[in-house]
A = this chain, B = another copy of it.
Amino acid sequence: MSLMAATQQVKRRATNQGAAVKEALAAEDTFRSAQDVYATLRANGEKIGLSTVYRHLQIFVDDGLADVIHKPDGESTYRLCGDASTTHHHHLVCRSCGKAVEIEGPAVETWADKVAAQNGFTDVNHTVEIFGLCAACAA
């Protein structure tokens, strides 16, 4: 999704709110909503505002540290991706618990570009998400 990581590092101040949001995300391998992260942090006694949570999540996305998936119901969910976050990849997501597995599909990438080119489309990107029930949630 992110065509390139941060185009140009912007100087940013280190705040504990920012760290808290990152920790909350890092704690689980699931896509979580801003509201969810906010609730968790507050429940944990963290002093942080909802606006701040949204702000940091967006920063992570801009910096290529996190991926975002827009659920059908309109809610956006975020996930801190692996160290190799610079590598283009997609996700296999559990509809029930949100657990996500990073996946790659070289064939899909080339197919997408080819189809777009054949139809005269330029400046192309794509979204590919696979949803299902993880083994754990199947019970």
Contacts and interface: CB of A to CB of B under 8 A. Distances in A.
Interface of A: 70-72, 74, 92, 94-95, 101, 103, 105, 107-108, 111-112, 115-116, 119-135, 138
Given A92-B115, A105-B111, A126-B131, 14 more contacts: A70-B72, A74-B74, A94-B121, A107-B107, A107-B111, A116-B130, A120-B138, A121-B130, A121-B134, A122-B138, A123-B132, A124-B132, A125-B131, A127-B127
Contacts of A135: 120-121
A68 to B, nearest CB: 8
21 contacts: A92-B115, A92-B119, A95-B123, A103-B115, A105-B108, A107-B107, A107-B111, A115-B130, A119-B134, A120-B134, A121-B132, A121-B133, A121-B135, A123-B132, A124-B132, A125-B132, A126-B128, A126-B130, A126-B131, A127-B128, A127-B129
Given A72-B70, A105-B111, A115-B103, A131 B124 contact: yes
Contacts of A103: 115
Contacts of A108: 105, 107-108, 111, 128
A126 to B, nearest CB: 4
A136 to B, nearest CB: 9
